Amino acid sequence: MAKVRIGLFGFGKTGKMIASEFLNDNQFSLAWVVRNSREDRGKYASRLLGYEFDEGKIFSTDEINDSFFNEYPVEALVDFSDAKGVYLYGRAAQQGIRVISAISKYEQAELDLLKSYAKYTSVLYSPNITLGINVLMVAAQILQKIIPHADIEIVEEHYKGKAEVSGTAQKIANALGLDVEEHLNSVRVGGIVGHHEIIFGLPNQIIRLSHESISRAAFGQGAIFAVNHLLGQPPGMYTMETIITEMFRKNIPVY
């Protein structure tokens, strides 16, 4: 079976992790990587990451023009660069190349642009693309409706240096209608990669849903999951959360 060709925007700390996950998975070939700087241009991401074969030729953003996506065709492109990345692949979208964006935060104009691509191809946008966090978020929303008398607190733990409140935790709080000031507790300590816990409190029992990140490779696995999902889907806008929600619906136990 032909491998699914992937193009990657972004080759920072997380981008490298994403590249590795695609390089490790036989189902895919990493066609190219686009990065902002001209560093390592023309080299292969695979070599830079310690593999003994050539995959993921490195381009800089100023090399991306209208013919790029014809010359270096892919089935899907994955964006872990920054909010400006979206300006580079409108042509790709028009050609039907699926788009997976995991950018943390867009300005409205950028988000609108991304959404406009959904006319031509399937576009998935999720700032936290890990499977686990999205499973947690959907499960929490259901639990809140089933046990509306429970009070809910969110605790997130991250590494000492992380200045801002976890965006994922904020998103969970919003989905649950919880005031962030009051119900979101942020602990910053040591080198914790990322831990989110949603606590449902009843007078005589406590339910906890928790997610621990072991490695950022989880983002790569999320991207792989997203690509696989989009391959069978019509054009349109998708999020991990809506996909997982749909999976909840289809997998309700039957007795």
Amino acid residing at 244: I
119 contacts its own copies (rule: CB under 8 A):
no
State the Cα torsion 243-247-248-253 to the nearest 10°.
180
Pair 43, 58: CB distance under 8 Å: yes
13 contacts its own copies (rule: CB under 8 A):
no
Is 162 considered catalytic here?
yes
Among 160, 167, 228, 231, binds its own copies (CB under 8 A): 160
202 contacts its own copies (rule: CB under 8 A):
yes
To which residue do tokens 């292969």 refer?
Answer: 44
Nearer to its own copies, 10 or 222 (CB): 222
Q: 126 by DSSP, 3-state: which? A: coil
DSSP 121: S
How many residues sit close enough to its own copies to count as binding (CB under 8 A)? Answer: 62
Distance CA 54, CA 45 (A): 8
113 contacts its own copies (rule: CB under 8 A):
no
Is 158 considered catalytic here?
yes
* Binding positions for its own copies, 214-253, rule CB under 8 A: 214-218, 221, 241-242, 244-245, 247-249, 251-253
For the CB of residue 131, give the shortest distance to its own copies in the complex, in Å.
6
Q: Which residues contact 168 (CB under 8 A, 6 or more apart)?
A: 127, 128, 133, 156, 194, 196
Pair 31, 56: CB distance under 8 Å: yes
> Per CB under 8 A, which region of 38-46, 94-102, 155-163, 164-172 contacts its own copies?
155-163
- DSSP calls for 29-44: EEEEEEESS-TTTTSB
16 contacts its own copies (rule: CB under 8 A):
no
Residue 112 tokens, joined: 């609108």
For the CB of residue 69, give the shortest distance to its own copies in the complex, in Å.
30
> Per CB under 8 A, which region of 32-40, 106-114, 115-123, 125-133 contacts its own copies?
125-133
35 contacts its own copies (rule: CB under 8 A):
no
Among 52, 189, 232, 234, binds its own copies (CB under 8 A): 189
> Per CB under 8 A, which region of 37-45, 56-64, 100-108, 129-137 contacts its own copies?
129-137
169 contacts its own copies (rule: CB under 8 A):
no
H or E stretch covering 199 = strand 195-202
Residue 218 tokens, joined: 């989880």
Q: Which residues of 46-60 are buried (b: 16+ CB within 10 A; e: fewer)?
A: bebbebeeebbbbbe
Q: Which residues form the interface with its own copies (CB under 8 A)?
A: 130-132, 135-136, 138-139, 141-143, 145-147, 150-153, 155, 157, 160, 175, 185-193, 199-218, 221, 241-242, 244-245, 247-249, 251-253, 255
Active site residues: 158, 162
